[in-house]
Amino acid sequence: MKNIYFIGECMVELRAMSAATLHQSFAGDVYNSAVYLKRCFPQVTTSVVTALGQDNLSKKMLERFESEQINTQLVFAHDTKVPGMYYIETDEHGERSFIYWRNDSAAKKVVDFLDADALEQLSQGDMFFFSGISLAIIEESAREHFWKVVKQLKDAGVKIVFDPNYRARLWNSVEETKEQYHLAFTLADITLPGVEDLTTLYDVHSVEAVVEYLKPYQIEEIVVKNGPESVVTKEGDTLQSHTIIPVTNVVDTTSAGDAFNGVYLGARLSDKPISSAVQLAAKAAGAVIQQPGAIAPKDIFQLAMAE
Ligand code: ADP
Protein backbone atom coordinates (compact mmCIF):
# COMPACT_ATOMS: atom_id res chain seq x y z
CA MET A 1 0.00 0.00 0.00
CA LYS A 2 1.36 3.41 -0.98
CA ASN A 3 1.65 6.08 1.65
CA ILE A 4 1.70 9.91 1.52
CA TYR A 5 2.04 12.53 4.28
CA PHE A 6 0.75 16.11 3.95
CA ILE A 7 2.20 18.53 6.52
CA GLY A 8 0.57 21.90 7.20
CA GLU A 9 -2.50 23.61 8.56
CA CYS A 10 -6.24 22.95 8.44
CA MET A 11 -8.44 25.81 9.64
CA VAL A 12 -11.97 26.34 10.82
CA GLU A 13 -13.88 27.95 7.95
CA LEU A 14 -16.78 30.34 8.62
CA ARG A 15 -18.73 31.18 5.48
CA ALA A 16 -21.29 33.99 5.51
CA MET A 17 -24.54 32.60 4.07
CA SER A 18 -26.75 35.58 4.93
CA ALA A 19 -26.63 38.51 7.36
CA ALA A 20 -27.37 36.22 10.30
CA THR A 21 -26.03 32.81 9.22
CA LEU A 22 -22.52 31.39 9.12
CA HIS A 23 -21.77 27.96 7.73
CA GLN A 24 -18.90 26.26 9.55
CA SER A 25 -16.56 23.77 7.92
CA PHE A 26 -12.85 22.92 7.77
CA ALA A 27 -10.28 23.73 5.07
CA GLY A 28 -6.60 24.34 4.40
CA ASP A 29 -4.49 23.63 1.34
CA VAL A 30 -2.79 20.39 2.43
CA TYR A 31 -5.98 19.03 4.00
CA ASN A 32 -7.94 19.79 0.83
CA SER A 33 -5.36 17.90 -1.25
CA ALA A 34 -5.47 14.93 1.15
CA VAL A 35 -9.28 14.77 0.93
CA TYR A 36 -9.40 14.75 -2.88
CA LEU A 37 -6.54 12.27 -3.14
CA LYS A 38 -8.26 9.83 -0.78
CA ARG A 39 -11.65 10.23 -2.48
CA CYS A 40 -10.13 9.27 -5.83
CA PHE A 41 -7.53 6.74 -4.64
CA PRO A 42 -8.88 5.00 -1.51
CA GLN A 43 -6.08 2.43 -1.69
CA VAL A 44 -3.42 5.09 -0.95
CA THR A 45 -2.82 5.65 2.77
CA THR A 46 -3.17 9.42 3.12
CA SER A 47 -2.05 11.18 6.30
CA VAL A 48 -2.27 14.77 7.47
CA VAL A 49 0.54 15.92 9.75
CA THR A 50 -0.58 18.90 11.82
CA ALA A 51 -1.25 20.18 15.33
CA LEU A 52 -4.69 20.98 16.70
CA GLY A 53 -5.76 21.86 20.25
CA GLN A 54 -7.68 20.12 23.04
CA ASP A 55 -10.89 22.08 22.36
CA ASN A 56 -14.19 20.89 20.92
CA LEU A 57 -13.60 22.34 17.47
CA SER A 58 -10.28 20.50 17.30
CA LYS A 59 -12.11 17.29 18.18
CA LYS A 60 -14.66 17.94 15.44
CA MET A 61 -11.87 18.65 12.97
CA LEU A 62 -10.20 15.37 13.87
CA GLU A 63 -13.53 13.57 13.38
CA ARG A 64 -13.87 15.23 9.98
CA PHE A 65 -10.40 13.99 8.98
CA GLU A 66 -11.44 10.50 10.02
CA SER A 67 -14.75 10.70 8.17
CA GLU A 68 -12.69 11.46 5.02
CA GLN A 69 -10.62 8.30 5.73
CA ILE A 70 -7.53 10.38 6.42
CA ASN A 71 -4.93 8.81 8.69
CA THR A 72 -4.59 10.93 11.87
CA GLN A 73 -1.70 9.17 13.62
CA LEU A 74 0.43 12.28 13.19
CA VAL A 75 -2.27 14.81 14.10
CA PHE A 76 -1.01 16.18 17.41
CA ALA A 77 -2.95 17.94 20.19
CA HIS A 78 -1.25 21.04 21.59
CA ASP A 79 -1.83 21.75 25.31
CA THR A 80 -2.86 25.39 25.03
CA LYS A 81 -3.23 26.44 21.39
CA VAL A 82 -6.38 26.19 19.25
CA PRO A 83 -6.87 25.88 15.46
CA GLY A 84 -6.63 28.85 13.11
CA MET A 85 -9.86 30.23 11.64
CA TYR A 86 -10.99 32.27 8.65
CA TYR A 87 -14.13 34.06 7.62
CA ILE A 88 -15.16 34.22 3.97
CA GLU A 89 -17.77 36.48 2.45
CA THR A 90 -18.86 36.86 -1.18
CA ASP A 91 -20.26 40.25 -2.21
CA GLU A 92 -23.03 40.93 -4.76
CA HIS A 93 -20.43 40.96 -7.59
CA GLY A 94 -19.10 37.52 -6.67
CA GLU A 95 -15.87 38.97 -5.18
CA ARG A 96 -14.62 37.00 -2.20
CA SER A 97 -12.98 38.54 0.85
CA PHE A 98 -11.28 36.76 3.71
CA ILE A 99 -10.38 37.54 7.33
CA TYR A 100 -7.87 35.22 9.04
CA TRP A 101 -7.12 34.43 12.68
CA ARG A 102 -4.14 32.10 12.33
CA ASN A 103 -1.12 33.94 13.76
CA ASP A 104 -1.20 31.95 16.98
CA SER A 105 -2.64 28.66 15.74
CA ALA A 106 -1.70 25.22 17.03
CA ALA A 107 -0.53 24.23 13.54
CA LYS A 108 2.37 26.70 13.77
CA LYS A 109 3.81 24.32 16.39
CA VAL A 110 3.60 21.14 14.32
CA VAL A 111 7.36 20.81 13.85
CA ASP A 112 7.84 20.67 17.65
CA PHE A 113 6.01 17.34 17.59
CA LEU A 114 8.30 15.75 14.99
CA ASP A 115 10.35 13.56 17.34
CA ALA A 116 12.27 10.36 16.55
CA ASP A 117 9.07 8.25 16.55
CA ALA A 118 7.31 10.59 14.13
CA LEU A 119 10.39 10.66 11.93
CA GLU A 120 10.53 6.87 11.93
CA GLN A 121 6.94 6.77 10.73
CA LEU A 122 7.41 9.49 8.10
CA SER A 123 10.45 7.61 6.76
CA GLN A 124 8.14 4.72 5.82
CA GLY A 125 6.20 7.00 3.47
CA ASP A 126 6.45 7.11 -0.30
CA MET A 127 5.89 10.88 -0.46
CA PHE A 128 6.14 13.85 1.92
CA PHE A 129 4.25 16.94 0.79
CA PHE A 130 4.54 20.53 1.99
CA SER A 131 3.44 23.80 0.45
CA GLY A 132 4.53 27.42 0.57
CA ILE A 133 1.75 27.89 3.11
CA SER A 134 3.16 25.07 5.27
CA LEU A 135 6.56 26.79 5.13
CA ALA A 136 5.08 30.19 5.96
CA ILE A 137 3.15 29.06 9.02
CA ILE A 138 6.01 27.05 10.59
CA GLU A 139 7.64 29.23 13.23
CA GLU A 140 11.00 30.71 12.26
CA SER A 141 12.66 29.02 15.25
CA ALA A 142 11.47 25.61 14.00
CA ARG A 143 12.73 25.95 10.43
CA GLU A 144 16.13 24.43 11.08
CA HIS A 145 14.54 21.29 12.53
CA PHE A 146 12.01 21.18 9.68
CA TRP A 147 14.72 21.19 6.99
CA LYS A 148 16.67 18.55 8.91
CA VAL A 149 13.56 16.36 8.87
CA VAL A 150 13.04 16.92 5.12
CA LYS A 151 16.69 16.03 4.40
CA GLN A 152 16.45 12.88 6.52
CA LEU A 153 13.29 11.80 4.72
CA LYS A 154 14.87 12.40 1.34
CA ASP A 155 17.91 10.35 2.40
CA ALA A 156 15.52 7.59 3.49
CA GLY A 157 14.11 7.48 -0.05
CA VAL A 158 10.86 9.38 0.55
CA LYS A 159 9.91 11.56 -2.45
CA ILE A 160 9.76 15.22 -1.43
CA VAL A 161 6.88 17.15 -2.99
CA PHE A 162 6.55 20.95 -2.91
CA ASP A 163 3.83 23.32 -4.14
CA PRO A 164 5.03 26.94 -3.77
CA ASN A 165 1.43 28.16 -3.15
CA TYR A 166 2.62 31.72 -2.41
CA ARG A 167 0.62 33.87 0.04
CA ALA A 168 2.43 37.20 0.43
CA ARG A 169 0.63 38.16 3.63
CA LEU A 170 2.03 35.13 5.49
CA TRP A 171 5.65 36.20 4.94
CA ASN A 172 7.78 39.00 6.42
CA SER A 173 9.49 39.73 3.10
CA VAL A 174 9.98 38.44 -0.44
CA GLU A 175 13.65 37.75 0.42
CA GLU A 176 12.61 35.47 3.27
CA THR A 177 10.22 33.57 0.99
CA LYS A 178 12.86 33.18 -1.72
CA GLU A 179 15.39 31.86 0.77
CA GLN A 180 12.93 29.22 2.02
CA TYR A 181 11.73 28.32 -1.50
CA HIS A 182 15.34 27.88 -2.61
CA LEU A 183 15.77 25.22 0.09
CA ALA A 184 12.48 23.63 -0.95
CA PHE A 185 13.37 23.49 -4.66
CA THR A 186 16.81 22.13 -3.75
CA LEU A 187 15.27 19.17 -1.92
CA ALA A 188 12.13 18.62 -4.03
CA ASP A 189 11.75 15.53 -6.22
CA ILE A 190 8.39 16.77 -7.49
CA THR A 191 7.11 20.34 -7.64
CA LEU A 192 3.68 21.62 -8.69
CA PRO A 193 3.90 25.41 -9.09
CA GLY A 194 1.19 27.69 -10.45
CA VAL A 195 2.49 30.38 -12.83
CA GLU A 196 0.75 33.15 -10.88
CA ASP A 197 2.46 32.10 -7.63
CA LEU A 198 5.92 32.53 -9.09
CA THR A 199 5.28 35.72 -11.08
CA THR A 200 5.56 38.01 -8.06
CA LEU A 201 8.58 36.22 -6.68
CA TYR A 202 10.74 35.61 -9.74
CA ASP A 203 9.22 37.77 -12.47
CA VAL A 204 8.32 34.70 -14.55
CA HIS A 205 5.17 35.13 -16.63
CA SER A 206 4.64 31.87 -18.52
CA VAL A 207 4.81 28.12 -18.00
CA GLU A 208 7.95 28.07 -20.13
CA ALA A 209 9.58 30.72 -17.94
CA VAL A 210 8.72 28.72 -14.81
CA VAL A 211 10.31 25.58 -16.27
CA GLU A 212 13.37 27.62 -17.26
CA TYR A 213 13.63 29.15 -13.78
CA LEU A 214 13.60 25.68 -12.18
CA LYS A 215 16.25 24.23 -14.54
CA PRO A 216 19.23 24.63 -12.19
CA TYR A 217 17.50 22.50 -9.55
CA GLN A 218 17.60 18.70 -9.69
CA ILE A 219 13.80 18.25 -9.70
CA GLU A 220 12.69 14.96 -11.29
CA GLU A 221 9.11 15.96 -12.03
CA ILE A 222 7.78 19.48 -12.61
CA VAL A 223 4.07 20.14 -13.10
CA VAL A 224 3.18 23.75 -13.96
CA LYS A 225 -0.45 24.82 -13.48
CA ASN A 226 -1.88 27.88 -15.19
CA GLY A 227 -5.63 28.16 -14.46
CA PRO A 228 -7.65 26.98 -17.48
CA GLU A 229 -4.54 27.08 -19.73
CA SER A 230 -2.54 23.95 -20.60
CA VAL A 231 -0.59 22.22 -17.86
CA VAL A 232 3.07 21.74 -18.76
CA THR A 233 5.07 18.88 -17.29
CA LYS A 234 8.76 18.11 -17.35
CA GLU A 235 9.97 14.65 -16.41
CA GLY A 236 13.72 14.42 -16.77
CA ASP A 237 14.26 16.15 -20.12
CA THR A 238 10.79 15.38 -21.48
CA LEU A 239 8.52 18.40 -21.78
CA GLN A 240 4.81 17.80 -22.39
CA SER A 241 1.88 20.17 -22.77
CA HIS A 242 -1.54 18.90 -21.63
CA THR A 243 -4.70 20.65 -22.81
CA ILE A 244 -7.31 21.43 -20.15
CA ILE A 245 -11.01 21.65 -21.01
CA PRO A 246 -12.00 25.07 -19.61
CA VAL A 247 -14.96 25.13 -17.23
CA THR A 248 -17.50 27.79 -18.19
CA ASN A 249 -19.62 27.57 -15.03
CA VAL A 250 -16.93 28.62 -12.52
CA VAL A 251 -18.54 29.13 -9.10
CA ASP A 252 -15.53 29.33 -6.75
CA THR A 253 -11.90 28.60 -7.66
CA THR A 254 -10.88 27.97 -4.02
CA SER A 255 -8.79 24.81 -3.81
CA ALA A 256 -8.59 24.14 -7.58
CA GLY A 257 -4.82 23.79 -7.22
CA ASP A 258 -5.17 21.73 -4.04
CA ALA A 259 -7.56 19.25 -5.66
CA PHE A 260 -5.25 19.08 -8.68
CA ASN A 261 -2.23 18.31 -6.46
CA GLY A 262 -3.98 15.62 -4.41
CA VAL A 263 -5.40 13.75 -7.38
CA TYR A 264 -2.19 14.10 -9.42
CA LEU A 265 -0.09 12.62 -6.62
CA GLY A 266 -2.65 9.86 -5.94
CA ALA A 267 -2.50 8.92 -9.61
CA ARG A 268 1.30 8.91 -9.63
CA LEU A 269 1.35 6.77 -6.46
CA SER A 270 -1.01 4.41 -8.30
CA ASP A 271 1.55 4.09 -11.11
CA LYS A 272 -0.40 6.12 -13.67
CA PRO A 273 1.69 7.90 -16.32
CA ILE A 274 2.03 11.68 -16.09
CA SER A 275 -0.46 12.37 -18.91
CA SER A 276 -3.29 10.38 -17.26
CA ALA A 277 -2.41 11.84 -13.86
CA VAL A 278 -2.77 15.39 -15.29
CA GLN A 279 -6.09 14.57 -16.97
CA LEU A 280 -7.55 13.10 -13.78
CA ALA A 281 -6.22 15.99 -11.69
CA ALA A 282 -7.65 18.56 -14.10
CA LYS A 283 -11.00 16.76 -14.08
CA ALA A 284 -11.07 16.87 -10.28
CA ALA A 285 -10.08 20.56 -10.18
CA GLY A 286 -12.71 21.33 -12.84
CA ALA A 287 -15.37 19.63 -10.70
CA VAL A 288 -14.30 21.44 -7.53
CA ILE A 289 -14.52 24.93 -9.05
CA GLN A 290 -18.16 24.34 -9.96
CA GLN A 291 -19.03 24.08 -6.24
CA PRO A 292 -18.75 26.72 -3.51
CA GLY A 293 -16.05 26.25 -0.84
CA ALA A 294 -12.83 24.28 -0.69
CA ILE A 295 -14.37 20.84 -0.20
CA ALA A 296 -17.08 19.82 -2.66
CA PRO A 297 -19.83 17.52 -1.35
CA LYS A 298 -18.60 13.95 -1.69
CA ASP A 299 -21.53 12.62 -3.75
CA ILE A 300 -21.40 15.51 -6.26
CA PHE A 301 -17.63 15.16 -6.58
CA GLN A 302 -17.75 11.37 -7.07
CA LEU A 303 -20.46 11.77 -9.71
CA ALA A 304 -18.40 14.33 -11.63
CA MET A 305 -15.34 12.04 -11.51
CA ALA A 306 -17.38 9.06 -12.76
CA GLU A 307 -18.59 10.95 -15.87
P1 ADP B 1 -4.40 27.59 -7.97
O2 ADP B 1 -5.73 27.18 -7.40
O3 ADP B 1 -3.24 27.00 -7.24
O4 ADP B 1 -4.28 29.06 -8.24
P5 ADP B 1 -4.77 27.25 -10.83
O6 ADP B 1 -5.71 28.41 -10.88
O7 ADP B 1 -3.60 27.30 -11.72
O8 ADP B 1 -4.27 26.88 -9.37
O9 ADP B 1 -5.63 25.98 -11.16
C10 ADP B 1 -5.22 24.67 -10.86
C11 ADP B 1 -5.84 23.70 -11.84
O12 ADP B 1 -7.26 23.81 -11.76
C13 ADP B 1 -5.49 24.01 -13.29
O14 ADP B 1 -4.28 23.42 -13.66
C15 ADP B 1 -6.67 23.39 -14.01
O16 ADP B 1 -6.49 21.99 -14.12
C17 ADP B 1 -7.82 23.65 -13.05
N18 ADP B 1 -8.53 24.88 -13.42
C19 ADP B 1 -8.41 26.11 -12.88
N20 ADP B 1 -9.24 27.00 -13.47
C21 ADP B 1 -9.91 26.30 -14.42
C22 ADP B 1 -10.95 26.63 -15.39
N23 ADP B 1 -11.46 27.85 -15.50
N24 ADP B 1 -11.40 25.63 -16.16
C25 ADP B 1 -10.93 24.37 -16.07
N26 ADP B 1 -9.97 24.01 -15.19
C27 ADP B 1 -9.47 24.94 -14.39
Q: Whose CA is nearest to atom 27 of ligand 1?
A: 228
What percentage of the chain has pLDDT greater than the value 70?
100
Q: What is the pLDDT of residues 88-143, one digit of tens each?
A: 998 887 788 999 999 999 999 999 999 999 999 999 999 999 999 999 999 999 99
List ligand 1's pocket residues with C-beta within 6 A: 194, 196, 225-228, 231, 244, 246-247, 250, 253, 256-257, 260, 282, 285-286, 289
Statement: the pTM of the whole predicted model exceeds 0.90: yes
Q: What is the mean pLDDT of residues 218-247?
A: 96
Q: What is the pLDDT of residues 199-213, one digit of tens each?
A: 999 999 999 999 999
pLDDT at residue 171, rounded to an integer: 97
Q: What is the pLDDT of residues 151-198, one digit of tens each?
A: 999 999 999 999 999 999 999 999 999 999 999 999 999 999 999 999
Query: Maximum Cα–Cα distance for the chain, whole Å?
Result: 55
pLDDT at residue 95, rounded to an integer: 81
pLDDT at residue 189, rounded to an integer: 98
Q: What is the mean pLDDT of residues 59-78?
A: 98
Q: Whose CA is nearest to atom 10 of ligand 1?
A: 257
What percentage of the chain has pLDDT greater than the value 90?
93
99: β partners: 87
Q: Sorting pLDDT into bands at 50, 70 and 90, what band is 302?
A: very high
Q: Whose CA is nearest to atom 6 of ligand 1?
A: 227
Q: Which of 162, 210, 244, 258 to mutate to test the pocket of ligand 1 (most atoms within 8 A of CB)?
A: 244
- Phi/psi of residue 128, each to 5°? -130, 115
3-class SS at 218? coil
Average pLDDT, the chain: 96
Buried b (16+ CB within 10 A) or exposed e, 25-46: ebbbbbbbbbbbbbbbbeebbb
pLDDT at residue 94, rounded to an integer: 73
